[in-house]
Amino acid sequence: MMANFPPGTATLLEEIDKKLMVVLRDGRTLIGYLRSIDQFANLVLHRTIERIHVGKEYGDIPHGVLIIRGENVVLLGEVAQEKEMNMPLKKVSGNEILKARKKEQEQKTDQDKRMAKALRERGLNYIPDLSHDDMF
Amino acid sequence: MLPLTLLRTAQNHPMLVELKNGETYNGHLVSCDNWMNINLREVICTSRDGDKFWKMPECYIRGSTIKYLRIPDEVIDMVKEETVVKARSRTDMKGRGGGQRNRGGGQSKTLDSDGDCLTVG
Protein backbone atom coordinates (compact mmCIF):
# COMPACT_ATOMS: atom_id res chain seq x y z
CA MET A 1 0.00 0.00 0.00
CA MET A 2 1.55 3.27 -1.10
CA ALA A 3 -0.41 6.43 -0.44
CA ASN A 4 0.07 9.32 -2.82
CA PHE A 5 1.98 11.83 -0.76
CA PRO A 6 2.91 15.24 -2.11
CA PRO A 7 6.67 15.57 -2.63
CA GLY A 8 9.18 16.65 0.01
CA THR A 9 8.26 18.98 2.84
CA ALA A 10 4.79 19.61 1.34
CA THR A 11 3.59 16.66 3.46
CA LEU A 12 4.25 18.86 6.50
CA LEU A 13 1.55 21.32 5.40
CA GLU A 14 -0.95 18.83 6.89
CA GLU A 15 0.59 19.38 10.30
CA ILE A 16 0.28 23.16 10.37
CA ASP A 17 -1.39 24.59 13.50
CA LYS A 18 -1.26 21.15 15.17
CA LYS A 19 0.54 20.52 18.42
CA LEU A 20 3.77 18.77 17.46
CA MET A 21 6.69 17.16 19.21
CA VAL A 22 10.04 17.85 17.57
CA VAL A 23 13.23 15.95 18.42
CA LEU A 24 16.49 17.69 17.56
CA ARG A 25 19.85 16.13 16.71
CA ASP A 26 21.22 17.16 20.11
CA GLY A 27 18.53 14.97 21.73
CA ARG A 28 16.28 17.79 22.92
CA THR A 29 12.51 17.39 22.77
CA LEU A 30 10.42 20.43 21.90
CA ILE A 31 6.62 20.62 21.93
CA GLY A 32 4.72 23.47 20.29
CA TYR A 33 2.24 24.53 17.64
CA LEU A 34 3.66 24.34 14.11
CA ARG A 35 2.92 27.68 12.44
CA SER A 36 5.03 27.60 9.29
CA ILE A 37 7.45 25.55 7.19
CA ASP A 38 9.51 25.99 4.04
CA GLN A 39 11.25 23.79 1.44
CA PHE A 40 14.18 23.09 3.80
CA ALA A 41 11.82 21.97 6.59
CA ASN A 42 12.78 25.03 8.60
CA LEU A 43 10.02 25.23 11.22
CA VAL A 44 8.27 27.94 13.19
CA LEU A 45 7.02 26.66 16.55
CA HIS A 46 4.67 28.76 18.67
CA ARG A 47 4.08 28.42 22.44
CA THR A 48 7.00 26.04 22.55
CA ILE A 49 8.17 24.14 25.60
CA GLU A 50 11.24 22.01 26.01
CA ARG A 51 10.37 18.77 27.79
CA ILE A 52 13.09 17.18 29.92
CA HIS A 53 12.77 13.64 31.26
CA VAL A 54 14.79 12.31 34.19
CA GLY A 55 13.73 8.83 35.27
CA LYS A 56 9.96 8.88 35.81
CA GLU A 57 9.79 12.64 36.20
CA TYR A 58 9.49 15.28 33.55
CA GLY A 59 9.46 19.06 33.46
CA ASP A 60 8.71 21.75 30.89
CA ILE A 61 10.77 24.84 30.13
CA PRO A 62 8.89 27.54 28.17
CA HIS A 63 10.60 28.88 25.03
CA GLY A 64 7.93 30.93 23.23
CA VAL A 65 8.47 31.29 19.48
CA LEU A 66 11.26 29.30 17.85
CA ILE A 67 12.56 29.27 14.28
CA ILE A 68 14.26 25.89 13.94
CA ARG A 69 16.72 25.28 11.13
CA GLY A 70 15.50 22.15 9.29
CA GLU A 71 18.89 20.38 9.31
CA ASN A 72 18.69 19.90 13.08
CA VAL A 73 15.37 18.06 13.13
CA VAL A 74 15.39 14.30 13.68
CA LEU A 75 11.66 13.69 13.81
CA LEU A 76 8.35 15.40 14.36
CA GLY A 77 4.97 14.01 15.19
CA GLU A 78 1.57 15.01 16.48
CA VAL A 79 0.97 14.89 20.23
CA ALA A 80 -2.10 12.89 21.24
CA GLN A 81 -3.82 15.13 23.79
CA GLU A 82 -5.68 12.44 25.74
CA LYS A 83 -2.64 10.17 25.95
CA GLU A 84 -0.58 13.09 27.19
CA MET A 85 -3.05 13.41 30.08
CA ASN A 86 -2.66 9.89 31.49
CA MET A 87 1.06 9.15 31.33
CA PRO A 88 2.68 7.11 34.09
CA LEU A 89 5.05 10.03 34.65
CA LYS A 90 5.16 12.71 37.30
CA LYS A 91 5.26 16.35 36.29
CA VAL A 92 7.61 18.59 38.25
CA SER A 93 8.58 22.25 37.86
CA GLY A 94 11.18 23.43 35.34
CA ASN A 95 13.68 24.27 38.08
CA GLU A 96 13.32 20.87 39.74
CA ILE A 97 13.84 18.96 36.51
CA LEU A 98 16.94 21.02 35.68
CA LYS A 99 18.34 20.20 39.11
CA ALA A 100 17.52 16.51 38.62
CA ARG A 101 19.22 16.50 35.22
CA LYS A 102 22.32 18.17 36.60
CA LYS A 103 22.50 15.59 39.36
CA GLU A 104 22.10 12.75 36.85
CA GLN A 105 24.87 14.15 34.64
CA GLU A 106 27.20 14.56 37.61
CA GLN A 107 26.57 10.95 38.61
CA LYS A 108 27.33 9.82 35.08
CA THR A 109 30.63 11.72 34.78
CA ASP A 110 31.57 10.42 38.22
CA GLN A 111 30.88 6.85 37.14
CA ASP A 112 32.80 7.36 33.88
CA LYS A 113 35.82 8.58 35.83
CA ARG A 114 35.80 5.56 38.16
CA MET A 115 35.35 3.22 35.20
CA ALA A 116 38.28 4.83 33.33
CA LYS A 117 40.47 4.56 36.42
CA ALA A 118 39.61 0.90 37.03
CA LEU A 119 40.28 -0.02 33.41
CA ARG A 120 43.54 1.93 33.29
CA GLU A 121 44.76 -0.03 36.31
CA ARG A 122 44.10 -3.18 34.30
CA GLY A 123 46.00 -1.85 31.31
CA LEU A 124 42.97 -0.95 29.20
CA ASN A 125 42.15 2.34 27.54
CA TYR A 126 38.65 3.57 28.30
CA ILE A 127 36.82 5.35 25.52
CA PRO A 128 34.07 7.52 26.98
CA ASP A 129 30.55 7.17 25.61
CA LEU A 130 29.99 9.92 23.06
CA SER A 131 26.59 8.69 21.92
CA HIS A 132 24.75 11.53 23.63
CA ASP A 133 27.02 14.15 22.12
CA ASP A 134 25.96 14.84 18.57
CA MET A 135 28.86 15.26 16.20
CA PHE A 136 28.01 17.72 13.47
CA MET B 1 4.42 33.29 6.32
CA LEU B 2 7.68 31.43 5.72
CA PRO B 3 10.20 30.98 8.54
CA LEU B 4 12.72 33.29 6.88
CA THR B 5 10.06 35.95 6.29
CA LEU B 6 9.28 35.81 9.99
CA LEU B 7 12.98 36.25 10.70
CA ARG B 8 13.03 39.33 8.47
CA THR B 9 10.01 40.70 10.39
CA ALA B 10 12.00 40.21 13.60
CA GLN B 11 14.63 42.76 12.52
CA ASN B 12 15.52 45.22 15.31
CA HIS B 13 14.08 42.85 17.92
CA PRO B 14 16.10 41.06 20.58
CA MET B 15 16.67 37.35 20.02
CA LEU B 16 18.57 34.30 21.15
CA VAL B 17 20.47 32.27 18.59
CA GLU B 18 21.75 28.82 19.46
CA LEU B 19 24.46 27.35 17.25
CA LYS B 20 24.90 23.68 16.45
CA ASN B 21 27.90 23.59 18.80
CA GLY B 22 25.70 24.70 21.72
CA GLU B 23 26.95 28.27 22.02
CA THR B 24 24.21 30.87 22.37
CA TYR B 25 24.22 34.45 21.15
CA ASN B 26 21.87 37.06 22.64
CA GLY B 27 21.47 40.27 20.71
CA HIS B 28 19.36 42.52 18.49
CA LEU B 29 18.92 41.37 14.90
CA VAL B 30 20.33 43.92 12.45
CA SER B 31 19.91 42.05 9.18
CA CYS B 32 19.49 38.61 7.65
CA ASP B 33 19.51 37.05 4.19
CA ASN B 34 18.04 34.09 2.33
CA TRP B 35 20.75 31.78 3.68
CA MET B 36 19.86 32.66 7.29
CA ASN B 37 23.20 34.48 7.67
CA ILE B 38 22.58 37.11 10.33
CA ASN B 39 24.07 40.26 11.83
CA LEU B 40 23.53 40.94 15.52
CA ARG B 41 24.43 43.95 17.65
CA GLU B 42 25.08 44.29 21.40
CA VAL B 43 25.76 40.58 21.67
CA ILE B 44 26.36 38.37 24.68
CA CYS B 45 27.86 35.00 23.77
CA THR B 46 27.44 32.11 26.22
CA SER B 47 29.57 28.98 26.09
CA ARG B 48 28.06 25.50 25.63
CA ASP B 49 28.09 24.78 29.38
CA GLY B 50 26.76 28.23 30.24
CA ASP B 51 29.78 29.02 32.39
CA LYS B 52 31.66 31.51 30.20
CA PHE B 53 30.37 34.77 28.74
CA TRP B 54 31.69 37.19 26.13
CA LYS B 55 30.29 40.62 25.30
CA MET B 56 30.75 42.10 21.84
CA PRO B 57 29.31 45.17 20.08
CA GLU B 58 28.38 43.26 16.92
CA CYS B 59 28.76 39.88 15.26
CA TYR B 60 28.01 38.01 12.06
CA ILE B 61 26.76 34.39 12.15
CA ARG B 62 26.81 32.09 9.15
CA GLY B 63 23.35 30.59 8.65
CA SER B 64 24.56 27.02 8.26
CA THR B 65 25.93 26.98 11.85
CA ILE B 66 22.57 27.84 13.45
CA LYS B 67 20.48 25.30 15.38
CA TYR B 68 17.54 27.54 16.20
CA LEU B 69 16.53 31.15 16.82
CA ARG B 70 14.28 32.18 19.67
CA ILE B 71 12.30 35.34 18.91
CA PRO B 72 9.94 37.45 21.05
CA ASP B 73 6.23 36.53 21.06
CA GLU B 74 5.12 39.93 19.74
CA VAL B 75 6.84 39.31 16.39
CA ILE B 76 4.31 36.61 15.50
CA ASP B 77 1.50 39.08 16.36
CA MET B 78 3.11 41.63 14.02
CA VAL B 79 2.94 39.03 11.27
CA LYS B 80 -0.78 38.49 11.88
CA GLU B 81 -1.46 42.24 11.67
CA GLU B 82 0.63 42.52 8.51
CA THR B 83 -1.22 39.72 6.73
CA VAL B 84 -4.59 41.24 7.72
CA VAL B 85 -3.52 44.65 6.35
CA LYS B 86 -2.23 43.06 3.13
CA ALA B 87 -5.41 41.01 2.63
CA ARG B 88 -7.53 44.12 3.20
CA SER B 89 -5.60 46.22 0.69
CA ARG B 90 -5.92 43.42 -1.84
CA THR B 91 -9.72 43.30 -1.52
CA ASP B 92 -9.87 47.12 -1.66
CA MET B 93 -7.95 47.00 -4.92
CA LYS B 94 -10.44 44.54 -6.39
CA GLY B 95 -13.37 46.74 -5.39
CA ARG B 96 -12.01 49.73 -7.26
CA GLY B 97 -11.17 47.85 -10.41
CA GLY B 98 -7.58 46.81 -10.02
CA GLY B 99 -5.48 48.05 -12.93
CA GLN B 100 -6.31 51.75 -12.88
CA ARG B 101 -4.50 52.81 -9.76
CA ASN B 102 -2.91 56.24 -9.55
CA ARG B 103 -5.85 57.92 -11.31
CA GLY B 104 -5.99 61.62 -10.57
CA GLY B 105 -3.24 61.24 -8.02
CA GLY B 106 -0.02 62.23 -9.72
CA GLN B 107 0.82 64.97 -12.16
CA SER B 108 0.31 64.48 -15.87
CA LYS B 109 2.70 65.86 -18.44
CA THR B 110 2.30 66.75 -22.09
CA LEU B 111 5.36 66.10 -24.19
CA ASP B 112 6.18 67.27 -27.73
CA SER B 113 7.77 65.05 -30.36
CA ASP B 114 11.31 65.60 -28.99
CA GLY B 115 10.24 64.62 -25.49
CA ASP B 116 10.50 68.19 -24.16
CA CYS B 117 8.01 68.97 -21.48
CA LEU B 118 5.36 71.42 -22.60
CA THR B 119 2.84 71.43 -19.76
CA VAL B 120 2.72 70.08 -16.26
CA GLY B 121 -0.43 69.54 -14.19
Question: Mind giving me the DSSP string for A25-73?
Answer: TTS-EEEEEEEEE-TT--EEEEEEEEEEEETTEEEEEEEEEEEE-GGGE
A119 or B113, higher pLDDT: A119
Other C-beta atoms within 10 Å of B44: how many?
14
Other C-beta atoms within 10 Å of B93: how many?
12
Contacts of B76 in chain A (CB under 8 A): 35, 44, 46, 65
Split at pLDDT 50, 70, 90, the class of A135 is: low
Q: What is the pLDDT of residues A65-105, one digit of tens each?
A: 999 999 999 999 998 877 777 778 889 999 999 999 999 99
Task: Give pTM, 2 decimals.
Answer: 0.76
Q: Domain spanning A10-121 has what CATH number?
A: 2.30.30.100
* Partner-chain contact A69 B67, CB within 8 Å: yes
pLDDT at B36: 96
pLDDT at A2: 58
Contacts of A62 in chain B (CB under 8 A): none
Is the separation of the CB atoms in B58 and B33 below 8 Å?
no
Indicate whether B5 pLDDT > 60.
Answer: yes
Question: Domain residues of chain B, as ranges?
Answer: 3-70
| Interface with A, mutate which of B21, B48, B68, B77 (most A CBs under 10 A) | B68
Question: Domain residues of chain A, as ranges?
Answer: 10-121
Is B6 part of the contact surface with chain A (CB cutoff 8 Å)? yes
Q: Which residues pair with B10 in a beta bridge?
A: none
pLDDT at B20: 95
* Partner-chain contact B3 A43, CB within 8 Å: yes
Given the cut 0.90, state whether the ipTM is greater than it. Answer: no
Query: What is the third-level CATH fold of B3-70?
Result: SH3 type barrels. (2.30.30)
